Chains A and B, each alone.
Chain A
Amino acid sequence: MIQIEHVSFQYANAKEPALRDVSLTIQKGEFVVLLGSSGCGKTTITRLINRLVPEFFEGELEGRVFVDGQNTDELSIQDLAGVVGSVFQDPRSQFFATDTTAEIAFSCENVGIPREEICRRIEQAANDLQIQRLLERSIFELSSGEKQSIAIASVYALAPKILVLDEPSANLDAAATEHLMEILHTLKQQGYTIIISEHRIHYLKDIADRAVLIEYGQITRELDASAFRSLSNEEANRMGLRSTDLLSIRPPVTQKKTGAEEQICLENLSYRYTRESETLANVNLSAGKGDIVGIVGTNGVGKSTLLEIVCGLKKETNGEVRFGGQAVNSKTRVRDTFLVMQSSDYQLFTESVEKELFLGNDGNEELQKKGRMLLERMGLLDYRQQHPASMSGGQKQRLCIAVACMKDTDVICFDEPTSGLDYSSMVNVSSLLHELAEQGKTLLVTTHDYEFLMHTCTHICYLLNGRVESFFPVEPRYTPQIYSILFQKEVVL
Chain B
Amino acid sequence: MSRDIRHIRFLELDPRMKLLLVVVFASATFSAPNLLALIWMYLLVVVLYLARGLWLGAKKTAMLFAVFLLINLILSFVPQSKFAAGVGMILFMLERVVVFFVMGAWMGSKLRVSDFVTAMQNMHVPKGGTIALAVAFRYIPTVQDEFRFIKNTMMLRGIGLTVRNVLLHPVKTCEYAIVPLIIRSMTISDELAASAMTRGLDLESKRTSYREVRLRATDFLYAGAVISAVIAGIVGSALLGR
Instruction: Decide if B198 touches A80 in the complex (CB within 8 Å).
Output: yes
**A433 within 8 Å of B (CB atoms):** no
1/0 per residue B106-118: CB within 8 Å of A? 0000111111001
Contact call B197/A337, Cβ cutoff below 8 A:
no
- Residue-wise, chain B 39-55 has the 8 Å CB interface mask toward A (1 for contact) of 00000000000000000
Smallest Cβ-Cβ distance to B108: which chain A residue: A98
Q: Which of A105, A110, A135 has the most CB of B within 10 A?
A: A110
Residue-wise, chain A 91-107 has the 8 Å CB interface mask toward B (1 for contact) of: 01111111101100111
Known contacts A88-B194, A345-B180; A96/B134 CB under 8 A: yes
Known: A109-B118, A109-B209. A96 touches B201 (CB 8 A): yes
Check A345–B156 contact: CB distance below 8 A: no
Q: Contacts A102-B210, A339-B156 given: A122-B184 contact, CB under 8 Å? A: no
- Interface footprint category on B: 35 or more
A:40-84 near B, CB below 8 Å: 50, 52, 56-57, 77-78, 80-82, 84
A-side contacts of B183, CB under 8 Å: 345, 348, 389
**A86 proximal to B (CB < 8 A):** yes
Bound Cα distance A74, B115 (Å): 32
B79 adjacent to chain A (CB < 8 Å): no
CB distance from A169 to the nearest CB of B (A): 17
Q: Is A325 an interface residue (CB 8 A)?
A: no
Cβ 8 A contact of A78, one of B5, B158, B203: B203
Q: Is the CB of B195 within 8 A of A346?
A: no
Complex alpha-carbon distance, A92 and B115, angstroms: 21
Q: Provided the pairs A80-B198, A122-B210 are in contact, do residues A346 and B191 lie with their beta carbons within 8 angstroms?
A: no
Candidates B118, B138, B180; contact of A346 at CB < 8 Å? B180
- The 0/1 profile, CB within 8 Å of A marked 1, for residues 84-126 of chain B is 0000000000000000000000000011111100100000000
B150 contacts A by Cβ under 8 Å: yes
Q: Is the CB of A359 within 8 A of B159?
A: yes
Q: Is A452 an interface residue (CB 8 A)?
A: no
Instruction: Give chain A residues whose Cβ lies under 8 Å from the Cβ of B206.
Output: 112
Per the bound structure, the CA–CA distance linking A86 and B192 in Å amounts to 12
* Contact (Cβ within 8 A) B142 A112: no
For residue A118, CB closer than 8 A to chain B, the reply is yes
Residues on B with beta carbons closer than 8 Å to the beta carbon of A140: 141
Task: Decide if B112 touches A97 in the complex (CB within 8 Å).
Answer: yes
B210-A118 in contact (CB<8A):
yes
Query: Does A262 touch B at the CB level, under 8 Å?
Result: no
Give the Cβ gap from A82 to chain B, nearest Cβ, in Å. 7
> Is A364 an interface residue when CB atoms closer than 8 A count as contact?
no
How distant is A360 from chain B, measured CB to nearest CB, in Å? 4
Contact A109 B153 (CB under 8 A): no
Nearest-Cβ distance from residue B94 to partner chain A, whole angstroms? 29
- Sample of 20 further A-B pairs with CB below 8 A, known A86-B198, A341-B153, A403-B157: A57-B194, A78-B200, A81-B198, A96-B134, A105-B210, A110-B207, A111-B200, A111-B205, A115-B210, A115-B212, A118-B208, A119-B3, A135-B1, A155-B199, A313-B152, A341-B152, A346-B153, A346-B180, A346-B184, A348-B180
Using a CB–CB cutoff of 8 Å, the interface residues on chain A facing chain B are 50, 52, 56-57, 77-78, 80-82, 84-86, 88, 90, 92-99, 101-102, 105-115, 118-119, 122-123, 135-136, 140, 154-155, 158, 308, 311-313, 334-335, 337-339, 341, 343, 345-350, 359-361, 389, 403, 407
| In the A-B complex, the 5 residue pairs with the closest CB atoms | A81-B200, A360-B158, A94-B195, A93-B191, A110-B200
